[in-house]
Amino acid sequence: MRLELRFVEYGLPMQVRKQSYDAVHGQVFHTEFYAAANPPCFWLKSEELYNSFPGLGVDTHLNITFDLERRSYRFSGELKGTRQEDGAYLTLLEQIEPIEEVSVRRDSRTEMRLEVSVYGLIREPRPHKASEIAEMSCEVFDISAGGLCLVSNEYFHSPFEPYFMLEFNFRGKGYFLLPAQLVRKGSCPQTVLFAYDYGFNFLYDDFPGEKERLAAAIFDAQLEQLR
């Protein structure tokens, strides 16, 4: 069955980028799905995209990507308008092509139980915790060198979205404090023990060597599980 926007949940993170020849290097708007409108239109919530609408203009083509149930999707849309509702900055887009599944996760995930603390992220002068008070602490469902999935019975929302610092001590294999982007949140399909899951991708630009160190720690932990 083809995925349709009417099945997408409120609050699902979506990344929006203007279509151009240099789109890979263009500005990315981090938005949340707000609501379906008269098909094929829909509303996205983002103050940044809302404020950029006058410069982008009506009918500008945008690429939209998102993760859902451990898969990645993309489609295209056109800008149509803006409005504010209950303090939310909303932008109306018209879907102009079907949603296409583009990939499954690149890095193979390993199911593993450990506690992760999620902190707000401050970018300058180098990514670091916004506070010593965690925004959320919960369990990992699975992890890879590319990212992890957290599970919880509490719905998580933070003004720091979508960027955070994730802190965990990897089963005696090393302490990690890594910046990450929240790319998915919603109901948890993996287990009946938890109501919600949260998908994060690690961001290594300012932390060279950490991806290799984490991959080695995961590999060592897998070997221990086999013993």
**How confident is the prediction along the chain (227 residues), in pLDDT tens digits per residue?**
578 888 888 998 888 888 653 333 356 788 999 999 988 999 999 999 999 999 999 999 998 988 877 677 889 999 999 999 999 999 999 999 999 886 555 556 778 888 999 999 998 888 999 999 999 999 998 899 899 999 999 889 899 998 999 999 976 668 999 999 998 887 776 677 888 889 899 999 899 899 999 998 888 877 766 65
> What's the pLDDT score for residue 168?
95
> What's the pLDDT score for residue 104?
52
> What's the pLDDT score for residue 93?
97
The whole-angstrom separation of Cα 40 and Cα 61 is 15
The sign of the CA dihedral 157, 191, 68, 105 is positive
For the chain, the domain total comes to: 2
The whole-angstrom separation of Cα 41 and Cα 96 is 9
Same domain, 160 and 204: yes
Same domain, 91 and 33: yes
The whole-angstrom separation of Cα 54 and Cα 76 is 19
Same domain, 114 and 82: no
Strand partners, 150: 140, 198
The whole-angstrom separation of Cα 223 and Cα 120 is 33
Same domain, 87 and 37: yes
Same domain, 149 and 201: yes
User: In 3D, which of 25, 18, 20, 43 has the Cα closest to residue 33?
Assistant: 43
What is the gyration radius of the CA atoms in the chain, in angstroms?
A: 18
> What's the pLDDT score for residue 23?
37
Q: Which residues of 43-73 are buried (b: 16+ CB within 10 A; e: fewer)?
A: bbbbeebbebbeebeeebebbbbbbbeeebb
Distances (CA, A) of 117 to 38, 64, 153, 167, 174: 40, 29, 15, 5, 15
CATH number (domain holding residue 151): 2.40.10.220
- Written as one letter, the residue type at 169 is N
- Written as one letter, the residue type at 105 is R
Domain that holds residue 161: 110-226
